[in-house]
């Protein structure tokens, strides 16, 4: 494998990182809204967001990307591969992060919210100043774990022709006929992205476990 092929893999790596960042950041915004609705006490909102989460957790990511790209095109809305996979990963991430953060919000001791209510804090102030700071801390290990899964999941974006790291590896492999070498390099690049995050997530989990003893 020459320099040109390796640089092409790095271009795929760039798009993998970009897609992961878009999906995670936009999904975080949607996930926070879903988590707040899931814990709002409004039955209609809780049922609506519960159905949304069940839909995306109960179907494969591959199918979700397929539906966003090809399904919307059948309805007359033609999206580029980049836009389609960005939307697909955002929706997918928002469902999973919403459920992670819902559990974290509910894990905050009830006495904290009762004390905030006793101080006459409204819902917004109670969430912003009391509940969410603690919930974010509780959710960090699971959130980082999901980010690792999201990075690896970007390899499915090739279903709609988007050239990320895995598809770039497949293209190079078909050109030079050295699949073991090419996908060995691809695997190393994925490992270099995911392993530090996994270590950090494990570190946080151990740290929080000690703090709660």
145: domain CATH number? 1.10.3720.10
86: confidence class by pLDDT, cuts 50, 70, 90: very high
Instruction: Give the model confidence (pLDDT) of 155-191 as tens digits.
Output: 999 888 899 999 999 999 999 888 899 999 999 999 9
**Strand, helix or coil at 78?**
coil
Instruction: Give the model confidence (pLDDT) of 100-144 as tens digits.
Output: 999 998 888 877 777 777 777 777 777 877 888 888 888 998 999
- Tally of domains in the chain: 1
| Contact (CB, 8 A) for 106 and 138 | no
The whole domain housing 36 covers 3-212
| CA 90/CA 30 separation, integer angstroms | 8
What average pLDDT does this structure show over 77-90? 93
Mean pLDDT rounded to a whole number for the chain: 89
| CA 78/CA 69 separation, integer angstroms | 8
């Amino acid at each position: 494998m020459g320099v040109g092929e390796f640089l092409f893999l790095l271009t795929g790596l760039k798009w993998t990182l970009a897609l992961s960042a878009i999906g995670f950041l936009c999904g975080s915004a949607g996930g926070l809204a879903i988590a707040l609705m899931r814990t709002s006490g409004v039955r209609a909102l809780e049922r609506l967001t519960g159905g949304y989460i069940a839909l995306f957790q109960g179907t494969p990511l591959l199918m979700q990307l397929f539906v966003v790209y090809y399904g919307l095109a059948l309805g007359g809305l033609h999206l580029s591969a980049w836009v389609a996979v960005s939307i697909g990963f955002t929706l997918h991430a928002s469902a999973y992060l919403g459920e992670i953060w819902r559990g974290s919000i509910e894990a905050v001791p009830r006495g904290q919210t009762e004390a905030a209510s006793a101080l006459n804090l409204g819902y917004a102030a109670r969430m912003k100043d009391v509940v969410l700071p603690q919930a974010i801390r509780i959710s960090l290990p699971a959130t980082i774990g999901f980010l690792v899964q999201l990075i690896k999941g970007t390899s499915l974006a090739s279903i709609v022709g988007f050239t990320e790291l895995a598809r770039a590896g497949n293209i190079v492999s078909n050109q030079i006929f050295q699949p073991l070498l090419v996908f060995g390099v691809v695997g190393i690049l994925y490992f270099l992205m995911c392993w530090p995050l996994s270590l950090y997530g494990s570190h946080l989990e151990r740290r929080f476990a000690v703090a709660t003893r």
